[in-house]
Amino acid sequence: MATAFAEWNRATFGNIHQRKKNLNKRLEGVQRALDNKHHPSLIKLEKKLRRDLDNTLHQEEIFWYQQSREEWITSGDLNTKYYHTIVNIKKARRQKIQLKAEDGSCLSDSDMERIANDYYGNIFAKEGETELSAVPKGKFPIIEEIKEITGIAGIPHVTPQNMV
């Protein structure tokens, strides 16, 4: 079937690109001849060649359109993934994210600020003894022992002058 269409195409239209090339060469030859000598038959031939060239250019344009359309249909629009990604990014930017309270209601900025202040305020404002029973005793070296082992009496004082 494909070979039958190819044969029909060649018989009906020929090679459009070759025809365009030949018409351009013939038109240039006629125009050079018209520069040397004005003759009514040359003017008539030039008009005919221009019409033929216009038709051929139109056929070539249709040919390239059909080629691109065929390629698009077979391979799909390769930019589709790109455009879907862009749309999803824009959608994510427009989407407003909100935290919800335990009862399911949405929290405003001032509610979140109040909750954070209450939470950290309770942690640091507790009075009384700190529970240290979870800290293992005797597992950490005493600072005096570290000084004896390393010979470092303390952290040296650093100034911009003694850094260099």
Give percent of the chain with pLDDT exceeding 70.
Answer: 68
Angle at 148 between CA 143 and CA 150, to 5 degrees: 90
pTM: 0.41
Mean pLDDT of 53-82: 77
Q: Is the pLDDT of residue 21 over 90?
A: yes
- Domain residue extents for the chain: 1-124
pLDDT in tens, 76-112: 666 677 778 888 888 888 777 777 888 878 888 888 8
Show Cβ contacts of residue 43 under 8 Å, excluding neighbours closer than 6 positions. 34
